[in-house]
Structure 1
């Protein structure tokens, strides 16, 4: 980053913010899928325990694995989302600093031409 021309640095930061936003959106999708896996696994476990559909021990073990896998995935993606949101905030703050260094000119009040 150079002090003389911060526009390139601003463009780089905006590209990084967009990439981080995509990561955050992906994390949100995985969080939703993880919650669905936890709910589905819990429902399957309850059905298996109550013996409603005659499912055996394999279904019970599978449902427990689904719940545990969902919990692990949820925790991992929540922490990644928090870190990503923090990085987005830092990048936005840096972008604001760089924008404030630019000597912006005020456009004079000129009549607008209607096309």
Structure 2
């Protein structure tokens, strides 16, 4: 089997692009969840500060932890998403280059 066969390499690149796309989708879901956690934590913290939840220090600390954890998770996944999207773009460019090297033959109408 020829190791330099561009069609095999294109198939490997397409599989890698699919893996990267799954990673990007997972990052998007985590980003959304992080935003929800930040909003819920901020709401709980505001409620605790206004005394709507009583004077419960555990709720306030939990709310602060939720906000901080959400911010950390958001930042990490936004960074990972950017890197993943850049890797997808590079892989797609390389795939297009490989496809351009393949000697394609035009198939005529079979009338």
CA offset digits 1:83-103 (Å, max 9, x no partner): 000000000000000000011
Instruction: Give the TM-score taking structure 2 as reference length.
Output: 0.94
Match for residue 106 of structure 1?
A: 106
Match for residue 8 of structure 2?
A: 8
- Paired residues for 1:41-52 under 5 Å: 41-52=41-52
Match for residue 93 of structure 1?
A: 93
Q: Partners in 2 of 1:52 and 1:42 — Cα distance?
A: 13
Corresponding residue SS for 1:108: coil
4+ long deviations beyond 3 Å: none
Match for residue 39 of structure 1?
A: 39
Cα offset for 1:55? 4.5
Cα offset for 1:108? 0.8
Q: Partners in 1 of 2:75 and 2:10 — Cα distance?
A: 33
CA offset digits 1:54-93 (Å, max 9, x no partner): 1511111110010000000000000000000000000000
Q: Partners in 2 of 1:7 and 1:96 — Cα distance?
A: 11
Match for residue 70 of structure 1?
A: 70
Aligned residues: 109
- 5+ unaligned residues in a row in structure 2: which ranges? none
CA RMSD after TM alignment: 1.0
Corresponding residue SS for 2:53: coil
Instruction: Give the TM-score taking structure 1 as reference length.
Output: 0.91
